[in-house]
Amino acid sequence: MSGYIDAKPDGSVDLMGRSRTATETQGVRGLDPHLVSLVAPASFEAEQYRALRSRLESRPEGRALQVLAVTSAVVGDGKTTTAINLAGSLAQARDARVLLVDADLRRASAGLQLGLEDPRGAGLADAILDPDRSLPGLVQSLPANLGILPAGRLAPQPYEVLKSPRFGAVLEEARRMFDYVVVDTPPLIPVPDCRLIARWVDGLLMVVAAHRTPRKLVEEGLNLMEPSKVIGIVFNGDARAFSGYYGYYHAYGRPPGRGRRPPQPATRETAPREAAPEPPLK
C-alpha cells in the first residue's frame, strides 16, 4: 500500500507511489507527538494500541468488525487520539487499507492532530451534502498506509447532516473500498450525534479518561447506546497499569547486549489499557 489514494473502475482503492516506512514516519512534521502509532511505532505506548488491535482481530467469528466507532462520554477523554492511534495500528498490517473518518462535525480535531494543511478542508460533510463529490476525491493520504476523510465544511446543523441517509451511503462506500474504517465521533452525553453514527458501524469503543471521568458519567454514556454495539471500554492515561513492568518491556524488546532502561511510567495521554474488573456501576 502506498501513500496516494486512487479509485479503480470497480470501486476498490489503489494506493500508488511509495509507502513510508516506520523509520520515515518518525519525526514527520505536523503530527501530534501523542500519535505514537505513527510517530513512534516501536514504542511501548504504541505496543498498547497493537494489543488493542489484537483484541479486536481475535473476537469470535460471526461478527465482523470492519467499521468501528470510537467515542467517549464527555469531552477531553482522548477519543480522537485513541481513534487515530487505533487506525494507525490497523494500518500496520500488511496490505491493509485503513480509513479514518472524522465524524465530529462540531469540534473536528483529527485533521489538526495529523497536521493537515487545511484541517477543515472538503470532507465528510461535503460528501453528504453534495452527492456529486466522490469519496476517493475527498480522502487524504497519510503516513503509514492510512487515509483520512476530514470532517469537511462547517455545517450549521451537524445532527441533521448526520441524520441524512447519504451519511450511511458514504460509510457503506468506505466499507467497500477499505479493509477497516475507524470513525471518530462526538462525545455521547453533550450531543446526540453518536447515536446516529452507531446505526452504521459494526461496533463501538468507549474511551474513558482514567482517574478523571466520574463513573456516573460513564454509566450515563453507556445507557445512551444499544448494548450490543458497545464492544469495549478503553481506559486512557492510567500510568499505574504500566509502571510495574515498563522496564521489563524495554529489556525484552531491546537487542542483546544493550543496557536496560529503568522502569518509568507510560505517557499519560497515549497508553490505553483494557478496563479492569470493577464493582457494578451504581
Reported as a single tens digit per residue, the pLDDT across 53-102 is 888 887 765 566 899 999 999 998 899 999 999 999 999 887 889 999 99
Once rounded to an integer, what is the mean pLDDT over residues 185-201? 95
In sequence order, the β-bridge partners of residue 234 are: 207, 274
> What is the reported pLDDT for 15?
30
Cell output for 274: 483494557
Give the whole-angstrom CA distance, residue 58 versus residue 203: 14
Closest Cα partner for 67 from 201, 178, 196, 171? 201
> What is the reported pLDDT for 62?
55
Place of cell 467515542: 71
Once rounded to an integer, what is the mean pLDDT over residues 211-223? 92
Closest Cα partner for 205 from 83, 36, 47? 83
Q: pTM of the full predicted structure? A: 0.75
Over 60: is that where the pLDDT of 122 sits?
Answer: yes
Query: 33 falls in which pLDDT band (50, 70, 90)?
Result: confident
Q: Is 79:189 a contact under the CB 8 Å cutoff?
A: no
Mean pLDDT of the chain: 77
Cell output for 79: 477519543
Q: Which of the pair, 116 or 143, is modelled with greater confidence?
A: 116
> What is the reported pLDDT for 266?
42
Closest Cα partner for 154 from 197, 105, 195, 192? 105
Q: What percent of the chain has pLDDT over 90?
A: 45
For residue range 159-185, what is the model confidence (pLDDT) as tens digits?
A: 999 999 999 999 999 999 999 999 999
> What is the reported pLDDT for 54?
86
Which of 12-16, 71-75, 257-261 is the most confident on average? Answer: 71-75
Once rounded to an integer, what is the mean pLDDT over residues 114-130? 90
> What is the reported pLDDT for 239?
53
Closest Cα partner for 169 from 133, 194, 193, 204? 133
**What DSSP designation does 227 have?**
G
> What is the reported pLDDT for 61?
59
Once rounded to an integer, what is the mean pLDDT over residues 221-225? 93
Residue partners of 277: CB distance under 8 A and separation at least 6: none
Q: Which of the pair, 11 or 158, is modelled with greater confidence?
A: 158
Once rounded to an integer, what is the mean pLDDT over residues 9-30? 37
Maximum C-alpha span of the chain: 60
Full set of structural domains in the chain with CATH: 4-20+29-274 (3.40.50.300)
Terminal CA-to-CA distance of the chain, rounded, Å? 47
Buried b (16+ CB within 10 A) or exposed e, 253-275: eeeeeeeeeeeeebbbbbbbbee
Cα angle 166, 170, 176; round to 5? 140
Once rounded to an integer, what is the mean pLDDT over residues 240-252? 40
> What is the reported pLDDT for 40?
78
When mean pLDDT is compared across 30-44, 118-132, 231-245, the lowest value belongs to 231-245
Place of cell 518518525: 26
